[in-house]
Every structure is written in C-alpha cells, then in structure tokens.
Homo-oligomer: A and B are copies of this chain.
C-alpha cells in the first residue's frame, strides 16, 4: 500500500494542523497565535487554494527566523475613533493582525452598525476569505482586502505597478452555505498559466502579456519576463488601484512599487489590510436577510443552464463543498510540498508529516 496517490498525499486536517502548530511553536510562535495561523493555512488547503495553504509554512518560518515577521505578535491600535481604527501590526504575522482587525471592525459594527479597520505594517495574511467569513459567522457582512507586491502593469503598461490585491466579501444565508466571494484582481491564477505551459496549451486572450507588454496567448511569454494582466483590463486594474488606496495609502506606509516582495528575505514588508463589517440587523431583520440571500442563490442555481452544463453555483459554493468533504476525508497535499515541509521539520526537530 503506497502512501502516495499519484503525486499527492491525502492527509487528515488534524494531522496537518498538529504539524503546523509544532513547527510554529519551535519558531517561537505562542500556541494561540500558532493555532490562528494554522487554521487559515489548513482552511486554504481544504478549500483548494493550495497556494495559500501549508506550503507557505517554510517561507513564514524563514521570515520569522530572520525577524522580518514577528514570531510573537505585537498588534497596536494606533488610532481608535468611533467606527474606525488604524492598527499597526509592527511586522507581526498577517493572520494575527487580520483576525484582530476584523474582531475590532465587528465590535465597532456591533456598536455603530458598521466598522472599518485599516492595518499597516503587516505580512501576508493568507486567504482573504477567512476574515470576511468571521463576520458572516456572526450575522454580519464582512469585507476584507489586502495589498500585495506588484504583479500587474497598468492597462497599456509593461512594468509591474500593482499587486493582484485580493478582495473577499462574505454574507450569511439560510441556504446550505454562506455566500462568499474571494477573488484576486489578476485575470487568472499563476498556476493556470504554469499548467498551460506544461501541457503545451495556449492561454485565453487577456490573461497575460509578454515582456514588452503586448498581449499574448503563449504562456511561456508570460512566464519569461512577461506580465499577468488584471481581470477585465482597466476594470480589474481600477479595483486593484482602489484597494491599494484603501490599504497602503490609507495606512500611510509602503505601497505599490515601494512594497518589498515577501520572497525577499533581506527586508521587512509593510503589507496593509482593509476590514469592514456591516451589522445586517441595522437594515433588515437577520432571519429575513438570510432567507432573501438564499432566495437570490436559488435564482442563480435554478437558472436555465447552457448546453452541457450540469450545475450552477452560488459564489463560494464550489470551495465550501470541497472544504466540507476534505475536512472529513483528508486534504491532498503535493508530495513535493510534503518533502519541503519535512525538510523544515527536520531543521526544527519536529516529527515528520506523515499519513
């Protein structure tokens, strides 16, 4: 009986979480904080967003070891006004900063109806969905966004100016799942472009440009000094620009071209996040809202289907279903990722990740 299914190992989420927690503990992360970081990583893997899953652990821990990312968080509320706050994460883990900031936004929403928090000097916070969902679980609408290192040129440009600045919006529903949108402002994930190159396929118009900034359908041209393009051209670029304003600019710290890469182990990043929470009950009764949200999902799910389409989905449904299944039966982790994790484990003196 092989432990490998093709190139992946199917591992129970508790095992991954336990492994992640042990590694983080060895890196000096207090147990409560390690649990929060671990939770977002396992959640990402379970939802199929492996790029934000446990594969990030070696990088996070390298950054902690070099003191670019505080092992023990220091989250300071720099300005605390009525319904708004500015939080300085002092280079703590993005997950701790993100969770504390959304908790604060929710407390403000509970008091004032809406609450907004900007976090500055933070790090990579994992999946934006996690923070938006914190609000949805408490009968609020949650909006979470972050800036990232520049990845995309402006429309007509040939230089990286803005990150793919992800945005997540979540709302409660009386349906099977909450409503959840979690999107980056690039047209396609890097993984899809890599996959096209591997399989020799061309990529659709609008996904990427070559190194001169000219649109291309050749994945190799995008990967070889070219650019990921924003979703919908100027629309996606405009949204990324506005998220940059709501994060790094409103935080008054680094943004756009001045924001170092998280892969640069020579300097700190100062990532900024935006968190907004809306108390639904200030507008209509929460039970009615949930029922109407489910009704809207029903219009989507029961719409006439295009030929060959067997099912239509509400935003986030595919990922919620995957998460539900994988939390029970296990999460497939790439064998190469497991190998990297076990190299990390050995260096930390933590037992290897196994089935």
Contacts and interface: CB of A to CB of B under 8 A. Distances in A.
A157 B323 CA distance: 24
A137 interface: no
B242 A181 contact: yes
A252 interface: yes
Given A114-B114, A214-B306, A283 B83 contact: no
Contacts of A292: 249, 252, 255
Given A181-B239, A209-B306, A252-B283, 5 more contacts: A154-B313, A156-B305, A157-B303, A231-B232, A232-B235
A59 B81 CA distance: 45
A300 B82 CA distance: 34
* Size bin of chain A's contact surface: 35 or more
B231 A231 contact: yes
Given A296-B255, A312-B157, A114 B84 contact: yes
Contacts of A244: 296
Contacts of A114: 83-84, 114-116, 276
- Count the copies: 2
Contact of A241 (B83, B157, B181, B251): B181
A212 interface: yes
27 contacts: A82-B112, A83-B83, A84-B113, A141-B250, A154-B300, A154-B303, A155-B312, A157-B303, A158-B303, A159-B303, A171-B242, A179-B242, A204-B206, A213-B305, A213-B306, A213-B309, A231-B231, A231-B232, A235-B236, A241-B315, A242-B315, A249-B292, A249-B293, A250-B280, A252-B289, A256-B296, A256-B299
A223 interface: no
Nearest to A257: B299
B289 A250 contact: yes
A238 interface: yes
Interface string A306-343: 11010111110000000000000000000000000000
Contact of A245 (B113, B158, B279, B296): B296
B232 A289 contact: no
B304 A157 contact: yes
Q: Which 7 A-B pairs have the closest CB atoms?
A: A213-B306, A84-B113, A231-B232, A181-B238, A159-B304, A156-B309, A252-B284
A338 to B, nearest CB: 30
Contact of A161 (B118, B242, B256, B300): B300
B288 A252 contact: yes
